[in-house]
């Protein structure tokens, strides 16, 4: 059965800390993995990963994919209160199927 | 616990036809959301139900789209008449409380020819 698991479910840290969010998957015919940030309404796209070992970076956020071990991590350095959100992982796989993880709720304490 | 399910997984219709998408949320989840991804990777909010009431429908693109959630359980999203630009993937998500983690369904891919 195809599945996407995110961990932790919830994370509370202080401003300035670095966090690592994990997304593990078990799917057939993997195509790509996407990270989103969801604050109020629709999730906002962050990264799309298709190849192992190539880090995608945007400011304080970075992400990398390991297709051998079937997971991706999303790193946020020097966290700010504006980083508080739910972070979603989505995996695209065979036959145009899509699966979202349950998300990680990140709370940054000032 | 069964997850959010959506039906159908893929629908191909001609311009001008009507299509109805269905979403079954996780049992006990009062909050139900509809989203769509039309192009690229961005996901757009359509509307939010709390039980059978429309809490926020600010994302509904026009009056060709009608969402219902009679009885506060499953929801339907009807597009009538469908236009070419309606093609995309329509996601449904549910959560127990407002602001809680949303559990996403697998999406319905709509293709309008």
3-class secondary structure per residue, B12-46: EECCCCCEEEEEECCCCCCEEEEEEECCCCCCEEE
B17 token code pair: 């036809």
DSSP character for B97?
Answer: S
Residue A59 makes CB contacts below 8 A (sequence gap 6+) with none
Closest by Cα among A91, A75, A110, A108 to A29: A91
Residue B70: phi and psi, rounded to 5, are: -65, 130
Phi-psi region at A70: left, alpha or beta (left = phi > 0; alpha = psi -120 to 50): left
Is the minimum CB–CB distance between B88 and chain A shorter than 8 Å? Answer: no
Q: What is the domain count for chain A?
A: 1
Q: B70 to chain A, minimum CA–CA distance in Å?
A: 23
Contact present, A88 and B97 (Cβ < 8 Å): no
Q: B100 to chain A, minimum CA–CA distance in Å?
A: 9
What pLDDT shows up at residue B56? 92
Contact B104 A88 (CB under 8 A): yes
Chain B residue numbers touching A86 (CB-CB < 8 A) = 101-102
What pLDDT shows up at residue A99? 85
pLDDT digits (tens, 9 = 90+) for A33-67: 999 999 878 889 999 999 999 999 999 999 999 99
Closest by Cα among A22, A39, A17 to A102: A22
What pLDDT shows up at residue B1? 59
What pLDDT shows up at residue B6? 94
User: For chains A and B, what is the number of CB pairs under 8 angstroms?
Assistant: 43
Mutate to test the interface with B, among A46, A94, A100 (most CBs of B within 10 A): A100
Identify which has the larger pLDDT, A41 or A12. A12
Q: Is residue B48 packed enough to be buried (19+ CB in 10 Å), middle (13-18) or exposed (0-12)?
A: buried
For domain B5-112, the CATH superfamily is: Immunoglobulins (2.60.40.10)
Closest Cβ opposite residue B41 in set A34, A88, A97: A34
What pLDDT shows up at residue A96? 66
Average pLDDT, chain B: 91
Contact present, B109 and B8 (Cβ < 8 Å): no
Q: A30 to chain B, minimum CA–CA distance in Å?
A: 15
Closest by Cα among A71, A60, A67 to A5: A71
Supply the CATH number for residue A57's domain. Answer: 2.60.40.10
* Residue in A with minimal Cα distance to B46: A42
Domain that holds residue A40: 3-109
Q: Is residue B53 packed enough to be buried (19+ CB in 10 Å), middle (13-18) or exposed (0-12)?
A: exposed
| pLDDT grade for A24, boundaries at 50, 70 and 90 | very high
Q: A52 to chain B, minimum CA–CA distance in Å?
A: 20
Strand A104-109 relative to strand B10-13, pairing: unpaired
What pLDDT shows up at residue A40? 79
Residue A101 and residue A2: Cα distance in Å, rounded? 11
pLDDT digits (tens, 9 = 90+) for A65-91: 999 999 999 999 999 999 999 999 999
Is the minimum CB–CB distance between B103 and chain A shorter than 8 Å? Answer: yes
Question: Could you say which residues of chain B have pLDDT below 50?
Answer: none
pLDDT digits (tens, 9 = 90+) for B5-20: 999 989 999 999 999 9
What pLDDT shows up at residue B29? 94
Highest mean pLDDT of the ranges A3-7, A24-28, B22-26, B102-106: B22-26
């Amino acid at each position: 059965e195809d599945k996407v698991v995110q961990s932790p479910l919830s994370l509370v840290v202080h401003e300035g800390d670095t966090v690592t969010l994990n997304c593990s998957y078990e799917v057939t015919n993997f195509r790509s993995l996407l990270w989103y940030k969801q604050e109020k309404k629709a999730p906002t796209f962050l990264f799309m990963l298709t190849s192992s070992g190539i880090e995608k970076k945007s400011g304080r956020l970075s992400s990398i994919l390991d297709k051998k071990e079937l997971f991706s991590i999303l790193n946020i350095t020097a966290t700010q209160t504006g980083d508080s959100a739910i972070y979603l992982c989505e995996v695209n796989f065979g036959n145009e199927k899509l699966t979202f993880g349950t998300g990680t709720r990140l709370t940054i304490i000032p | 616990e069964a997850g959010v399910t959506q039906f159908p997984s893929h629908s191909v219709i001609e311009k001008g036809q009507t299509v109805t998408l269905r979403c079954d949320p996780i049992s006990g989840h009062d909050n139900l959301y509809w989203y769509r991804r039309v192009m690229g990777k961005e996901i757009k909010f359509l509307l939010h139900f709390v039980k059978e009431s429309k809490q926020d429908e600010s994302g509904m693109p026009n009056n060709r789209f009608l969402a219902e959630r009679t009885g506060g359980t499953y929801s339907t999203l009807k597009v009538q008449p469908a236009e070419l630009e309606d093609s995309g993937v329509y996601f449904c998500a549910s959560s127990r409380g407002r602001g809680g983690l949303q559990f996403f369904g697998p999406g319905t891919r709509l293709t309008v020819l």
